[in-house]
A and B are shown apart, each in its own frame.
Chain A
């Protein structure tokens, strides 16, 4: 079975069955990553291009590792915004890459919609590895995988997403996917960090973190972009940490078996206290490990390989 899509741009249009297929496919690759020789020939002879217009270590490395473990040829292309000649459009860059017979282009771009624009213009499959504030579908899929790995079902699951939801592609992808799967999603943060009408996406809004965490099964922290201080979203990091930082006391407000997630990289002592990040309830490193297996599954499904 394979995904009947050329591209993976967003989780909003995916069906529950498609999401489940990706998670199940990841299971079999999870097994591969546990072997001594972590490599299968599924994508031998295929070319995967990581086209990253934004600095990213973990997502790019994760995709690179996933592609290599599938025996694909991998090229990393990271045009810094200054070296992309002004006037060369994203499409021109991508067509050049396509001309080198890339089968799959993994795109990270600072602008929302870049992946969709690209996908319309090239024949290669496009995987969105994060576009502006829009979506980061593979991150949400690995988050789902990690939740599922902990033996939690999605139906009725209570998930709190905490932080700057407005500027978060991770939050958007997770809201779409989790609500589709029947989870109840809360978004927690100051009103300055809530996008217009987020409630209409199916999430419940909490400005008070303690209230927002009460009884939840999953606490999903978002990275605070420190440079947003002074842009009127929050007054000081100190106050933000006090109001929306995850401490051990706050974790105790959640369900006793609750897990703590974070897409990384974490700001220790800002949105998450060091002892929480390193605690037993933290699955942050599991997320990283699962990322490779989930991305192997996605690359495999997108390649249409058998």
Chain B
């Protein structure tokens, strides 16, 4: 089966930007260029006035399966992903059981295959049970399909263990991800520490809880030569240190989440549990620093940290409610807002959703190069819509963006040469 996408504006970051057609044969990109003709029997998709982009790559999602299927499954998470334009997603290992062994990895891959929507790539744990003590079987995880390692929200506090993990991962050229949070400094905190936490009487998480771990990880990456990826950085201090580390040639990439460049801690007022995430929403100064970091390339990647939680969990009082929000179905629009605002060029924005994340983990994704996997997304850059959580494909509704009027709509998502999402609502 062939698909010809005609008449759109193609943005393949770093490779091609301009009007053109994209020809897909079977599951690969066969040609990109002007006035391609459709082979017999092919499906033609008219994309006039639309953008034709490599499918987005999200390095940071929580699909909750196995263990917390009431929040999300690999099926529902994949449906949310393709609805948001994401054709490849990397799943954090904080499932139950933790993805610290081949069996869990293979289970997740099998679930993803059955869902048949997005490319779901597991991230393995760094330590057994993500307990921060003994290394997981990282080689096994690699060979069974994990694309990076992380202990996610239970960051490895023991610096020696982290050093050994980084060294060991070098053998497999595997990226080591850290959720940078000093658990002692952050203990009991549930929002950014600052004037708002003082007023609300909520225990705070200081920016320093992130900064000290960023500093440690950069030092360890320098020591070991490991490929380091910093998850969801949220502070001005992190941006400054990553910028300096990159200038010195340390192998580090960093991601930022849409909520961290869109919202501030003020949203917590009223004890809004949809404003509770980890790292927490920070100050206006931090938001500006994140935008600067995105603009100058210090922050390579935009990732969602899609963290579904059931409605009743978010209805608990603020300190009890779990951290996290869903993000897959709003990320593209919120990223486009940075283009409107002049923070990023359109190509830069697309790059941070496609080729940059792919490069951070060494994935052969996020490009429309001839021979690449046919993962393509067709979007209307200008279509306005209102965020309505009841229409999410995700099982969960925990978003602070409900009712927001945003721009940029995903119209069609193609994964491996198959149309898996169309905006008229049908997932195939």
Binding site for B on A (CB under 8 A): 12, 87, 89-91, 109-114, 116-117, 131-135, 169, 172, 195-198, 200-201
Contacts and interface: CB of A to CB of B under 8 A. Distances in A.
A97 to B, nearest CB: 16
Secondary structure call for the B interface: loop
Contacts of A89: 312, 315-317
B241 interface: no
B320 interface: yes
A42 B203 CA distance: 40
A90 B315 CA distance: 9
B198 A111 contact: no
A133 B317 contact: no
B271 A117 contact: yes
Interface stretch (B77-85, B189-197, B374-382): B189-197
A196 B193 contact: yes
A110 B316 CA distance: 13
Contact of A117 (B197, B198, B203, B318): B318
Q: Which 3 residue pairs of A and B lie closest in terms of their CB atoms, listed nearest first?
A: A134-B201, A113-B271, A133-B201
B243 to A, nearest CB: 26
A201 B204 CA distance: 17
B312 A172 contact: no
Interface residues on B, range: 20 to 34
Nearest to B184: A232
Nearest to B198: A195
Given A112-B271, A195-B198, A133 B203 contact: yes
B319 interface: yes
Interface string B194-229: 110111111110000000000000000000000000
Interface of B: 193-195, 197-204, 270-271, 312, 315-320
Nearest to B320: A111
A111 B317 contact: yes
A132 B201 contact: yes
Given A87-B312, A90-B316, A90-B317, A112 B202 contact: yes
15 contacts: A90-B317, A109-B317, A111-B317, A112-B200, A112-B202, A112-B271, A113-B200, A113-B317, A113-B319, A132-B202, A133-B202, A134-B201, A196-B193, A196-B197, A196-B204
Nearest to B271: A113
Contact of B194 (A12, A169, A197): A197
A91 B202 CA distance: 19
A113 B318 contact: yes
B201 A169 contact: yes
- Most chain-B Cβ atoms within 10 A of its Cβ — which of A109, A133, A198, A201? A133
Given A87-B312, A89-B312, A197-B194, A12 B199 contact: yes
B185 to A, nearest CB: 11
A6 to B, nearest CB: 15
B271 A196 contact: no
A132 B198 contact: no
Contacts of A116: 270-271
Given A89-B316, A111-B318, A112-B271, A135 B201 contact: yes
Given A111-B318, A112-B318, A113-B271, A131 B201 contact: yes
Given A116-B271, A132-B319, A196 B198 contact: yes
Contacts of A110: 319
B155 to A, nearest CB: 21
A133 B318 CA distance: 13
Contacts of A200: 195, 198
Given A89-B316, A132-B319, A112 B201 contact: yes
Given A89-B315, A132-B202, 11 more contacts: A87-B312, A90-B317, A116-B270, A116-B271, A132-B201, A133-B202, A134-B202, A172-B201, A196-B198, A196-B204, A200-B195
A110 B271 CA distance: 14
Contacts of A90: 316-317
A196 B191 CA distance: 13
Contacts of A87: 312
B105 to A, nearest CB: 31
- Most chain-A Cβ atoms within 10 A of its Cβ — which of B194, B312, B319? B319
A198 B198 contact: yes
A110 B199 CA distance: 16
A133 B317 CA distance: 14
A112 B316 contact: no
A197 B195 contact: yes
Given A12-B199, A87-B312, A117-B318, A196 B270 contact: no
A85 to B, nearest CB: 12
A55 B87 CA distance: 52
Contacts of A109: 317
A197 B316 CA distance: 28
A89 B202 CA distance: 19
A52 to B, nearest CB: 15
